[in-house]
Amino acid sequence: MEQRKNGPAMRQILSQEKRRQIIAALKDNPNATQIAREVGCVNYRTVVRLAEGAGIELTAGKAVRGHPRVSPEKHAQIIAALKDNPNAKQVAGKIGGVSHTKVGKIAKAAGITLAATESGKRLSADQRAQIIGALKANPNASEVAKQIVGVSHVAVWKIAKAAGIELTRGKAARDHRPNDVSR
């Protein structure tokens, strides 16, 4: 085996004999992980690259496991739930059996914009509508936050600013900053 310098690391170049041995073994057993172990001193990825180069389809082992796919029924259910509530974590929890990351990828593919990606808990469209309705009746962020469980006065204040609702009571009314949402 020949060694070539590749930056600070040393990379070993496979001999033609070892390449032939790997390709022959792949034809008998299309499992790259097992072949890498049997041949020895060969990385799994090297075996995968050789298989791709030789046009051998890997039909066993790590290369074919992949991720479980979402059924078309569940996919449609996720899209319908995202249209009602554009929050990937809440939809994943509601439907079950699917991660919030997968729900986010489905939303992106379907062209659905998810709720703001700020840190912390995100509010559903229904909760936002409820907060805006309460703010129109009582433009006091602290009072509205007390009425709606699980929402802080700061979240209510940000929603009010985004909706252009002028807060007339409480601390927010004494806030002399311009009503401009830059975040």
Residue 144 pLDDT > 50, yes or no?
Answer: yes
Burial of 22 (0-12, 13-18, 19+ CB in 10 A): buried
Q: Does 91 map to a domain? A: yes
Alpha-carbon gap, residue 136 to 140, rounded angstroms = 9
What are the pLDDT digits (tens) for 26-54? 888 888 888 888 888 888 888 888 888 88
Do 53 and 90 belong to one domain? no
Alpha-carbon gap, residue 95 to 70, rounded angstroms = 12
Do 53 and 18 belong to one domain? yes
Do 55 and 88 belong to one domain? no
CB–CB of 46/36 below 8 Å?
A: yes
Do 61 and 18 belong to one domain? yes
The reported pTM is: 0.36
- What total number of domains does the chain contain? 3
Could you tell me the residue range of the domain that residue 81 belongs to? 72-110
**Bridge-based pairing state of the strands 2-6 and 9-13:** antiparallel
Residue 131 is which amino acid? I
Do 131 and 164 belong to one domain? yes
CB–CB of 42/10 below 8 Å?
A: no
Do 97 and 130 belong to one domain? no
Q: Does 6 map to a domain? A: no
Min mean pLDDT across 21-25, 104-108, 117-121 is at 117-121
Do 134 and 100 belong to one domain? no
Min mean pLDDT across 9-13, 79-83, 148-152 is at 9-13
Residues 6+ apart with CB under 8 A from 14: 1, 22, 42, 46
